[in-house]
Structure 1
Amino acid sequence: MSRAIDLLYLLAEHEAGMSITELARELSTQRPPLYRIVGSLMERGLVHRTSTGKYVLGAGLIELARPLERTLDELVAGPLQRAANASGAGAVLVLDTADGLVAAVSKSPETVQMHLVTPVGHRFSEGPIAPRLAIDSVNHPERAELAEIRDRGYATSSGQAFAGSWAAAFSVTLPDQYGVACVMLATMHPEDEDRLITVGNAAVAEIAKFCGRA
């Protein structure tokens, strides 16, 4: 089972696909047992073999993840959209996963004005960016340098997306299966800081209420 999971993660890192020889080399195993694993995953639609003989992730993974995606959307889509509209900023739910910080749900203001967009699936860079600081303040209560962020409930950073951008990230409590998360508001108008903080606090309070954590 662990080898099958390792194989899925490996294919997720190689979107163009991998041959059975490449998979065997990366997983430090022989091809015969790997064919059996790949065959079982293909039967369930979790892996697909392309016309070039490469193996890629299959559409069955979408169905497998659909209940999780639907629940997340039910919990946060409304609050995020309202936050985006009220602030004129991109509103993103960021999850702390085994692959790092990932944008799980993203909403843009329903206006024609210019705004920052963070696509779903985006992996955030290392460094002291707002979402990482907000999540670290929850994950590492022993770190004294994060005490101020823990106390006020949010972190800020500037210039991380591109020059002139500004972001605020607010730690939020979701059901246990999602782990630690935060809501990030990203904008090209840092002069709106006070308004964004007010909107962000309201969004996480609304999400916490939906989750029964208020």
Structure 2
Amino acid sequence: MKQQAYNQKPRTETVKKRTPRNESGVLVLHKTLDILEAIKNSPTGVSLADLARSVHMPKPTAYRITATLESRGYLDRTSEGCYQVSRKLFELQRTATDEQVVIRAAHPIMERLVESCQETVNLGVLDAGEVVVINTIESPQGIRMASKIGNRRYLHSTALGKVLLTGLPEREVLRLIRVKGLPRLTPNTLTTPSALKDELELVRERGYSIDNEENEANGRCLAAPIFGPYGRMVAALSVSGPTFRMTVEHAHSVAPQLLDACRSITQAITS
């Protein structure tokens, strides 16, 4: 390895201070948000010319941004050519709001479940054909299943994912299998549609799922569903631990506590 000489004169550089407004990408984002806010405040829609004037930007710039938003489905145009916020944007806002409601309702119940079970508890939702963790509280034990918010996992190999799959129509499950596949992560992973179908039937019958070292070796997990208004499954809650503590028998013995926690969260978000 080449050593740097101690008497070498350090190189100095002039660093230009940057602010968010200096960054072209962030500047475009500011302009996009300005446009969305202006359109949101005009329930009957706003023309391109009026929009450009209200946000103080050149008409061609306003057109490029609105055209992109329209092509992505976030803006609609009326028969008069005025721009309105689309249903898709409202759905995006509603989804984020729904998740925050679930997180707030679930957190204290998750804390009690961790205290009772002494294992890691995760809250997950279905997103783009995967399960994403939206809240987690890790076990206080020295050896534990680690997790963090934002983690994404396959549906077919996780307890959270298998529970969430039971809330979908069979045709949607088959579509996700075609798109995502059923990759083998461990020797225990379910890798055929028929095996997964049988497993989902079992999950529906007993009300919870078990990941028996299907996602990673030496880890076992169980999960149960959380329901929102009108009986729609909105999330799932899991308890996971290392297999030397979380034996199959112990996992089944934890299930009543997990199911009680899920019922409490469901009641909190629907009452």
TM tier relative to shorter chain: 0.5 to 0.7
Q: Aligned residue for 1:180?
A: 234
Structure 1 residue 95, shift from structure 2 partner: 0.5
Q: What is the distance in 2 between the residues matched to 1:124 and 1:90?
A: 16
Q: Aligned residue for 2:107?
A: 77
Residue identity matched to 1:190: M
* Change beyond 3 A, Cα 1:40–1:207: same
Q: What is the distance in 2 between the residues matched to 1:160 and 1:147?
A: 17
* Change beyond 3 A, Cα 1:135–1:126: closer
Residue identity matched to 2:228: L
Residue pairs, 1:78-97, within 5 angstroms: 78-97=108-127
- Contact residue 207 and residue 224 of structure 2 kept, 8 A: yes
When the two chains are superposed, the root-mean-square deviation of aligned CA atoms in Å is 3.3
**Counterpart selection for 2:159 from 130, 133, 137:** 130
Residue identity matched to 2:225: S
- Contact residue 102 and residue 123 of structure 1 kept, 8 A: yes
Residue identity matched to 1:98: A
Residue pairs, 1:3-82, within 5 angstroms: 37-41=28-32, 70-82=100-112
**Counterpart selection for 1:98 from 107, 112, 128:** 128
Q: What is the distance in 2 between the residues matched to 1:67 and 1:140?
A: 24
Q: What is the distance in 2 between the residues matched to 1:80 and 1:141?
A: 30
**Counterpart selection for 1:190 from 228, 241, 246:** 246
* Change beyond 3 A, Cα 1:182–1:137: same
Q: What is the distance in 2 between the residues matched to 1:97 and 1:179?
A: 13
- Contact residue 174 and residue 208 of structure 1 kept, 8 A: yes
Structure 1 residue 208, shift from structure 2 partner: 1.5
**Counterpart selection for 2:201 from 147, 156, 162:** 147
* Change beyond 3 A, Cα 1:90–1:174: farther
Structure 1 residue 141, shift from structure 2 partner: 5.7
**Counterpart selection for 1:117 from 136, 146, 149:** 146
* Change beyond 3 A, Cα 1:66–1:193: closer
Structure 1 residue 151, shift from structure 2 partner: 2.0
Gaps of 5+ in 1: 1-18, 24-34, 45-63
| TM-score normalized with structure 1 length | 0.62
Q: What is the distance in 2 between the residues matched to 1:42 and 1:128?
A: 39
- Contact residue 157 and residue 215 of structure 2 kept, 8 A: no
Q: What is the distance in 1 between the residues matched to 2:96 and 2:236?
A: 21
Q: What is the distance in 2 between the residues matched to 1:168 and 1:86?
A: 15
Query: Is residue 210 from structure 1 mapped to residue 268 from structure 2 by the alignment?
Result: yes
| TM-score normalized with structure 2 length | 0.50
- Contact residue 134 and residue 149 of structure 1 kept, 8 A: yes
**Number of paired residues?**
161
Looking at both structures, which has the greater relative contact order when contacts are Cα pairs under 8 Å and sequence separation is at least 6?
Answer: 1
Q: Aligned residue for 2:258?
A: 200
Residue identity matched to 1:73: I
Structure 1 residue 148, shift from structure 2 partner: 2.1
* Change beyond 3 A, Cα 1:128–1:118: same
Q: What is the distance in 2 between the residues matched to 1:70 and 1:161?
A: 27
Over residues 37-78 of structure 1, what are the superposed CA-to-partner deviations in whole Å (9 max), with x where a residue is unaligned?
A: 54514769xxxxxxxxxxxxxxxxxxx898666533321001
Q: What is the distance in 2 between the residues matched to 1:126 and 1:153?
A: 17
- Contact residue 164 and residue 233 of structure 2 kept, 8 A: no
Task: State the structure with more CA Rg.
Answer: 2
